[in-house]
Amino acid sequence: MRLPQEIIRAKRDGLTLEPEDIAAFVRGLTDGTVGEGQAAAFAMAVFFRGLALPERVALTRAMADSGTVLSWALPGPVLDKHSTGGIGDTVSLVLAPMVAACGGYVPMISGRGLGHTGGTLDKLGSIPGYDATPGLDTFRQVVRRVGCAIIGQTADLAPADRRLYAIRDVTGTVESLDLITASILSKKLAAGLDGLVMDVKQGSGAFMATLPEARALAESIVTVAEGAGLRTTALITDMDAPLASAAGNAVEVAYAIDYLKGLRREPRFHAVTLALAVEMLVAGGLARHAAGAAERLEAALASGRAAEIFAEMVTALGGPADLLNEPEKHLPAAPVRRPVHQAGTVAGIATRDIGLAVIELGGGRTRPEDAIDPRVGFTDLAGPGSSGGLLGIVHAADEAAADRAEAALRAAYRMGDAPAERPAILETVRSGEAAAA
């Protein structure tokens, strides 16, 4: 068993690490014997040198086994979805209760914002009283009683990943295919799932900017997951524009509530949400085919049952009982709201820059210890081909911040001819296809 610095050196020099070396380094991440600098150096070495498939599997399993691995005895399948991250990606907040309304159980372990993308955990943090890091007993009870619970990583679940995740966010190593794969799947393996559906984003607002990059990540995740015994399908979805017209924390929770209540169902957002949920129902045996799954999910929305489950989840985890009916009473609002107008037709969007503008407003982090302002962000963001004149509404803490956000929003939009329509779902990757590739 080598010292941490020797493991780092071996990977820096492009050598293949043995499973026992990877396991030893992960133990050091967990017990603190690997320092912050060493963890950052390891992440950078992996970023540049990469990991072979056996190394990815070894890293994933070691991080999953670094804490408690849950097991469930429930009357339905235990299912989950994970996104690689994007702008306006509010899907988790609505998908979990939709699947629960159809008989699935969704113990969703989510993360904080990573790089330029928003994090589900940060969004939930804008709900007063919501406990995103409950004990495992509470987590189990809520999943069993409500059907879903969205929480963050506790000290018990994949603690090695929790530490490395925060370091990657601020060391320029977020985009590593190997580290993304291990980070995502270690949490999912620790959650004791029966099936997983991945949403791999591709486009200007994604970590994977090109389709080949996104396909490589999708295939990596599906192959490693299947090797670890977890049935997984990956959808590659469009992130050349914000998925929802809201980007921020409280503003995205408000958007999710509107979606569940039927007040707002934007086509691209609905298409991606439905496609992911369909895969989950089919994987869990809750529907025989995609058409039947879609019908069940639409019925769960139309009946209001999905919205009710979301409200039950929020209350069970300490949030206000009337959030669904009176979100404006509880969700924090920014003191400055400024519409930004621009004549012409939206020809293209530098989507990543919108995410960076949210961080600049205070809605994300530049250091792991940074506090987040849940009030800030953008709403009513224009999509490709829009010619209504409104680029979006800035939600800011003060006028100076609003000035900077307005300038960033204008710079992120390119006006000209309307672009060709881009499908929301670009590709589907399944286990046999990934192995063949």
CATH number of residue 23's parent domain: 1.20.970.10
The pTM score is: 0.88
CB 350 within 8 A of CB 411: yes
Separation CA 411–CA 301 (nearest Å)? 37
Q: Please pick, among 60, 83, 233, 351, the residue that the annotation labels catalytic.
A: 83
Q: Tell me, yes or no, whether 358 and 227 share the same domain.
A: no
Same domain, 303 and 176: yes
Burial, 239: exposed, middle or buried (Cβ in 10 Å; 0-12, 13-18, 19+)? Answer: buried
Amino acid 436: pLDDT: 47
Would 56 be classed as within a structural domain? no
199 and 288 share one domain: yes
Q: Which of 65, 80, 161, 238 is catalytic?
A: 80
- Set 183, 245, 351, 386: catalytic member: 183
**Any catalytic annotation for residue 168?**
yes
Residue 262, phi then psi, degrees to nearest 5: 80, 15
**299, 388: one domain:** no
**Residue given tokens 């070396």 in the structure block:** 21
**Residues 6 or more apart whose Cβ sits within 8 Å of residue 216:** 177, 208
Residue 66 belongs to some domain of the structure: no
Could you tell me if 262 and 367 lie in one domain?
no
Is 266 contained in some domain?
A: yes
Return the pLDDT at 152.
85
DSSP one-letter code for 363? I
Residues 347, 318 share a domain: no
From the candidates 30, 120, 204, 237, which is the catalytic residue? 120
Candidates 176, 174, 192; CA nearest to 67 is 192
Residue 82 appears among annotated catalytic residues: yes
Do 287 and 215 lie in one domain? The reply is yes
116 is catalytic: no
Structure tokens at 22: 């990877």
Whether residue 243 is contained in a domain is answered as yes
81 counts as catalytic: yes
266 CB neighbour count, 10 Å cutoff: 16
Query: What is the distance between the alpha carbons of residues 176 and 400, in angstroms, rounded to a whole number?
Result: 35
Same domain for 102 and 25?
no
Give tens-digit pLDDT for 83-120.
Answer: 988 999 999 999 999 999 999 999 998 876 655 666 88
Contact (Cβ atoms closer than 8 angstroms) between residue 240 and residue 349: yes
Q: Is residue 199 part of a domain?
A: yes
Whether 187 is a known active-site residue: answer yes
Let me know if 176 is a catalytic residue. no
pLDDT at 345 (0 to 100): 97
β-strand partners of 83: 199
**Residue 123 annotated to the active site:** no
Does residue 73 lie within any of the structural domains?
Answer: no
For residue 174, give the CATH number of its domain.
3.40.1030.10
Beta-bridged to residue 415, according to DSSP, are 346
> Which parts of the chain have pLDDT scores under 50?
435-437
Catalytic residue among 56, 112, 123, 188: 188
Q: What is the pLDDT of residue 113?
A: 61
| 164 and 31 both lie in a single domain | no
Q: Which residues pair with 346 in a beta bridge?
A: 415
User: Could you say which of 123, 187, 268, 330 is catalytic?
Assistant: 187
- pLDDT tens for 174-188 read 878 899 899 989 989
> Are both 313 and 346 inside the same structural domain?
no
- Phi and psi at residue 365, in whole multiples of 5°? -120, 150
Tell me whether residue 80 is one of the annotated catalytic residues: yes
Can you give the residue range of the structural domain that contains 44? 4-50
24-43 pLDDT, tens digit each: 999 999 999 999 999 999 99
